[in-house]
Structure 1
Amino acid sequence: MTAPHHLLLVVAGIAGEASHLVEADADAAQLSVLDVAATRGDGIFETISIGQGHPQALEAHLQRFARSARMLDLPAPDLTVWRDAVLALAHRLADHDEAWVKTALSRGVELPAAGGPPVPTGWAYATVSPQFRRERTEGIDVVLLDRGLRSDVSATSPWLLAGAKTLSYAVNRAAVREAQRRGADDVVFVSSDGLLLEGPTSTLVVRRGDTLTTPPDAFGILPGTTQVDLFAAADQWGLATAVEPLSPDDLRGADAAWLVSSVRHAAPVRSVDGAPLPVDAPLTATMNGFLRDRRS
């Protein structure tokens, strides 16, 4: 089936009156050039996977959206309206096996014409997911890159917004370009005190024996909705789970590892800094089947 045009809904009336939805043309100009989303990256977003019209981990994404808003001192989003936006867009994409919806909220126009504080801008848009067969089956090559922050950054420097899902993604994009310059596909960030963190757009999961392990959110990493769903299902696959610190040596010596995310799902890591890592193909297929078939 031919992929549709991008679909867009604008969340209007965010400040000062009840929020509501307005359908808009995604091919037409919608965002002011003075909006801080464009000028400063001052805002938040979430990306929700859609399986045959069903949003996956929707409530977890909405709660994380609200968490990021609190961290940035943005007005609390009306989650009922944002939920309606996601459901409306998901319904429009029900004929496709995999799609996604992105919700975004910015602080608004930097210099409002009438003076006073900016009025927040909100929108949601959706489209069909790209093909990730190679990444899900053959695996990805990753490099370890220093993030330049200690693992306790959330406690020592909360103004750095570690663990918030913000529109300021220039560093994450630069990290992926650096990985590509090194002949790899993706990145696992390492704290300046030597602990594994996350990927630029994903959560790290490592298998050691019969236990799946991920680093703690307290290290200033984004709480992973996909990782949470996988850990909730792990006992069905005879696996235990743990949330604990991991070192680069723990990754290099792992029985298997994945970078997991809402849209790409579970991508097995096949090498770390050029050194091969085992790929657990049966478990990877089980994970991706589970993630693809979720209905909530």
Structure 2
Amino acid sequence: MPETVSFLVDPLPVGTSAEFLESSFREIEPGSPALAVNDLAPHRGDGVFETLAIVDGRVNDLEPHLARLANSARLTDLPEPNLDQWRLVIRRAAERAPADGQFSVKIVVSRGVDPGTVPTGWAHVASVPDFSRERSHGIRVVTLDRGIDRGAGERAPWLLLGAKTLSYAPNMAAIREAKRRGVDDAVFVSSDGFVLEGPTSNVLVRLGDVVVTPPPAAGILHGTTQRRVFAFLESLGRRVAYRDLTLDELRGADAAWLVSSVRMAAPVIEVDGHPLGADAAMTAEINDHLLGAND
């Protein structure tokens, strides 16, 4: 089977009869011309997306990803996505991926061709980099000022801080800045000193016997992997909490991780040049769960 698979999708309205779902998308040659030059996705980043992990043929966290896609569409005033259609697209994409190994499927809904009255969509399956070293040896991070205070997300919802949009240029710039500083990744901090999230990840911090993550109300993306990790830890009787985290708490944490759908849980071993202890046992528990997870 190919390691790269692409589908062009004609997003259907909610309530469309199931008989039309199968004919609403088609497989295309990966890398083939498929996006109109006046589509608003590349011109303005005007669209939303989700990236789901496929582990040994299984799609992780399908429903949480679809729920977040719907929420992002609502926040950006896109038409409500037909989730039955996207379930089918994702299922067909996973069927075309190899049965062994780790892959990702990225689904995208753009506002469409300018002036954006009809959405466009696509799905793409690809192999993912080998993150086993990051998961086992840890990563070094630098904190970067996001330029907004802790309350900006609630005070200015038009900033779309809680939506997963295609406007990822600042996120990619932050990762490049981290590389320029000789480390692996970045953690955004608010201008008033609170930890937010990574450019493509959520932050988890162990303080004593409780694992903490910043609340979605802080203007961060509510992570599907973070939620799965919290549910797993709670099932083991561990304490978890959503609350504000200061930069000093991150630097003095007993352990910390950046978690995301594809990289899973990468332990943080250094913050701004300050060494951080790693909880190897909890890291292994979390990643064993995530790599074997299925809906």
Question: TM-score surpassing 0.5?
Answer: yes
Contact between 2:11 and 2:81, CA under 8 Å: does it hold in 1? Answer: no
Q: In 1, Cα distance between the equivalents of 2:81 and 2:108?
A: 10
Q: Deviating runs (4+, > 2 A) in structure 1? A: 13-19, 235-238
Equivalent in the alignment of 2:156: 157
Unmatched runs of 5 consecutive residues or more in structure 1: 112-116
Contact between 1:14 and 1:121, CA under 8 Å: does it hold in 2? Answer: no
Aligned equivalent of 2:29, options 25, 31, 49:
25
> Structure 1 residue 24: deviation in Å?
1.6
Contact between 2:269 and 2:275, CA under 8 Å: does it hold in 1? Answer: yes
Aligned equivalent of 2:54, options 39, 50, 54:
50
Q: Map Cα deviations across residues 57-101 of structure 1 (whole Å, 9 max, x no partner).
A: 100000000000001100111000101111111122242221111
> Structure 1 residue 13: deviation in Å?
5.1
Contact between 2:57 and 2:98, CA under 8 Å: does it hold in 1? Answer: yes
Equivalent in the alignment of 1:9: 7
Q: In 1, Cα distance between the equivalents of 2:198 and 2:172?
A: 11
Equivalent in the alignment of 1:200: 199
Contact between 1:109 and 1:120, CA under 8 Å: does it hold in 2? Answer: yes
Unmatched runs of 5 consecutive residues or more in structure 2: none
Deviation larger for 153-162 or 6-15: 6-15
- The alignment's TM-score, normalised by the length of structure 1, stands at 0.94
Equivalent in the alignment of 1:220: 219
1:90 and 2:89 correspond:
no
After superposition, residues 137-156 of structure 1 pair within 5 angstroms as 137-156=136-155
- Seen in structure 2, the aligned counterparts of structure 1 residues 119 and 289 have a Cα distance that, compared at 3 Å, is same
Q: CA RMSD in A?
A: 1.6
1:286 and 2:290 correspond:
no
Deviation larger for 237-246 or 274-283: 237-246
Equivalent in the alignment of 1:123: 122
> Structure 1 residue 235: deviation in Å?
3.3
Equivalent in the alignment of 1:181: 180
Identity %: 50
Q: In 1, Cα distance between the equivalents of 2:154 and 2:237?
A: 35
Deviation larger for 58-67 or 13-22: 13-22
Equivalent in the alignment of 1:80: 84
Work out the number of aligned pairs and report it. 289
- The alignment's TM-score, normalised by the length of structure 2, stands at 0.94
After superposition, residues 213-252 of structure 1 pair within 5 angstroms as 213-252=212-251
Q: Per the alignment, in what secondary structure is the counterpart of residue 194 of structure 2?
A: coil
After superposition, residues 243-282 of structure 1 pair within 5 angstroms as 243-282=242-281
Contact between 1:252 and 1:272, CA under 8 Å: does it hold in 2? Answer: yes
Equivalent in the alignment of 1:135: 134
Q: In 2, Cα distance between the equivalents of 1:32 and 1:6?
A: 21
Q: Map Cα deviations across residues 117-168 of structure 1 (whole Å, 9 max, x no partner).
A: 5321101111122100111011000011110111111221111111110001
Q: In 1, Cα distance between the equivalents of 2:9 and 2:246?
A: 42
Deviation larger for 208-217 or 91-100: 91-100
